Amino acid sequence: MGPFIAQFLTGLANAAALFLVASGLSLIFGVTRIVNFAHGSFYMLGAFIGYTVMQLLPGAFGFWSSILVAGLAVGLIGVIVEMLVLRPIYRAPELFQLVATFGVILVIQDLALITWGAEDLLGPRAPGLKGVIRILGEPVPKYDLALIAITPFILFALWYLITKTRLGVLVRAATQDREMVAALGVNQSWLFTGVFFLGAMLAGLGGALQLPKGGADLLMDFNILASIFVVVVIGGMGSLPGAFIAAVLISVLNVFGVRYMPQSTLVLMYVVMAVVLIIKPYGLMGRKEVAGEHGQVGEPEQPFSPFGRRGRLIVAVLLIALATLPFLGSKFAMILAIDIIIVCLFAASLHFILSLGGLVSFGHAAFFGGGAYAAALMVHYAGSPMELAFVLAPIITGFLAIIIGWFCIRLTGVYFAMLTLAFSQLLWSLVFQWGEVTGGDDGMVSIWPSPWASDTTVFFYLTMIIGFGGILVLRHAAHSPFGYALRASRDSAGRAEATGINTKRVQFVAFTFAGAMAGLAGTLFVFSKGSIFPTELEIGKSFDALIMVFLGGVKTLAGPLVGASALSLMQDYLTRFEYWRLALGLLIIAVVIIAPEGIAGTSQKLAARWGIIRRDEVQ
């Protein structure tokens, strides 16, 4: 009984920081509809700033005021981010802001590296709370007990703020209908800024509060991101009590997981999330997201049509030019081109469901990595030749998409996004922890192409054929009746259903199709590298695809290709420098602010304005 209770108390103590960070994310999303990828970075900054201030202020008073100072400082950083980065792009297409927040992650990572160095910082112990207390013979850190005691006060304070104060009334009103709040004379900009301050401050407090337990390091931002997404989704987007319950649930579960099933701790969290969402699709205490209640942001999409003769000619010329690369460029250039074609296909497959289907998936890496692992497993265990893997791996990925889609398609909007994220994390943790089969962290190596294709030049042409073939198939599908049915389901589900279209079935098929195409990209990837590691299934990989699609322009068919090429080239060039993340992050933020329709979208607009192309030629 003793160990059991001790474990339980540890779980409760861990919940404190998790709840703080998650409630901040939930608040920000509820009011601004921004999925703040940079929330983990605020948490990390809280830890670093708290650490520094603790060095300056001595004693128990110093310790606790350092935590407050860290919270306030991070809150102010949040305000700066909101005003400089997000304000200029509120009128951009929905969810576009997440690209900017991704840029912020990169910037903060390098700024933290410059300021605090690469080494992990061991958090100072809380003065006066250094020892342990024995409960039923088991040692429980005093600090844990203090956290457990503090958490209800934080919950109460937040609850009071949200339900009893004017700011709270505004926040709740804006969560329900922000346009109405604006119509009633509330200055939206400052409300958003205020909420950002509050949300970032909560994250900062969380980061500083966990210092004695976890310290501060540069991986904290991504490490907590998955957990807080899970907490917010299980609790229900925008619900504080929900976030609290979910934080406790997940933390306790993790502690017991580590003790009783160390092989599957990571999987456990996502399994719980999937189960909760299958039973309660909008989280424990969330409410259904009514489609369109917040209004479509940005201009409506232009109708598009297949390329005319001129367009096809241009594409053909470009492809022929690319095909001469082996004669002109170096081997390195070919490898870079292979990489770019592969990510283009990956981004195009995400674009298909994201843009045409209106289904924003945060877990598309599941299919890229899924295809890669399917091919690698076939080669490794069955000695399958490359040709067979190219046929079967995408099909297997398609089946994977059927399974994941079956759970996800019933949801919409951000819940859909989060559940896809959960499933991709589930797959990642499976691969990561099932080392006997997948090699775990060490990955799988020696997955080489067939002898005839092992020469770089040959493989380059193979990649061109398969990669552009896949992209053409996706593009053609967009112009086919199926693509139209998919857009119809997105544009007006009510009209579509009232004219005989089974919108959910159409979306399900599209999800499967896009999954299979991402699997094809993954298969190309594994043979081009000869190896595969779990990183290809990570959140970062899914985010990469999202960034590419948004950066290029969601509302154009060329967007994903432009975005994928641009991001890959920027990465390739900038990673030569020490602080490349800072540069890349700033570059992304700059592009986002200058070109809110994405690179392709904005250039088409400009071209139309300057009379280079006619408006109706914009595709």
b/e per residue 389-401 (b: at least 16 CB within 10 A): bbebbbebbbebb
Which residue's CB is nearer to other proteins, number 117 or number 308? 308
Which residue's CB is nearer to other proteins, number 461 or number 484? 484
- Closest C-alpha among 387, 427, 109, 486 to residue 266: 427
CB 140, CB 133: distance < 8 Å: yes
CB of 523 to other proteins, least distance (A): 21
CB 444, CB 531: distance < 8 Å: yes
Which residue's CB is nearer to other proteins, number 396 or number 478? 478
Which residue's CB is nearer to other proteins, number 384 or number 492? 492
Which residue's CB is nearer to other proteins, number 454 or number 480? 480
Which residue's CB is nearer to other proteins, number 123 or number 483? 483
Which residue's CB is nearer to other proteins, number 118 or number 498? 498
CB of 351 to other proteins, least distance (A): 14
CB 203, CB 23: distance < 8 Å: no
CB of 119 to other proteins, least distance (A): 52
Contacting positions for other proteins (CB under 8 A): 300-303, 305-306, 476-477, 479-485, 487-488, 490-492, 494-495, 497-502, 506, 509, 616
Which residue's CB is nearer to other proteins, number 172 or number 504? 504
CB 457, CB 334: distance < 8 Å: yes
CB atoms within 10 A of CB 474: 21
CB of 553 to other proteins, least distance (A): 14
- How far apart, in whole angstroms, are the C-alpha atoms of residue 22 and residue 233? 10
DSSP state of 216: B
Which residue's CB is nearer to other proteins, number 138 or number 497? 497
Q: What is the 3-state secondary structure (H, E, C) of 479-502?
A: HCHHHHHHHHHHHCHHHHHCCCCC
CB 344, CB 564: distance < 8 Å: yes
- Closest C-alpha among 482, 190, 493 to residue 352: 482
- How far apart, in whole angstroms, are the C-alpha atoms of residue 538 and residue 425? 7
CB of 607 to other proteins, least distance (A): 18
Which residue's CB is nearer to other proteins, number 544 or number 597? 597
Residue whose tokens read 């929905």: 94
CB of 610 to other proteins, least distance (A): 21
CB of 572 to other proteins, least distance (A): 34
CB 126, CB 143: distance < 8 Å: yes
CB of 552 to other proteins, least distance (A): 18
Which residue's CB is nearer to other proteins, number 509 or number 588? 509
Q: What is the 3-state secondary structure (H, E, C) of 66-81?
A: HHHHHHHHHHHHHHHH
Which residue's CB is nearer to other proteins, number 109 or number 489? 489
- How far apart, in whole angstroms, are the C-alpha atoms of residue 374 and residue 405? 18
CB of 495 to other proteins, least distance (A): 4
CB of 616 to other proteins, least distance (A): 7
CB 227, CB 18: distance < 8 Å: yes
CB 341, CB 467: distance < 8 Å: yes
DSSP character string of 231-248: HHHHH-TT-HHHHHHHHH
- How far apart, in whole angstroms, are the C-alpha atoms of residue 537 and residue 172? 36
- Closest C-alpha among 500, 490, 297, 301 to residue 409: 490
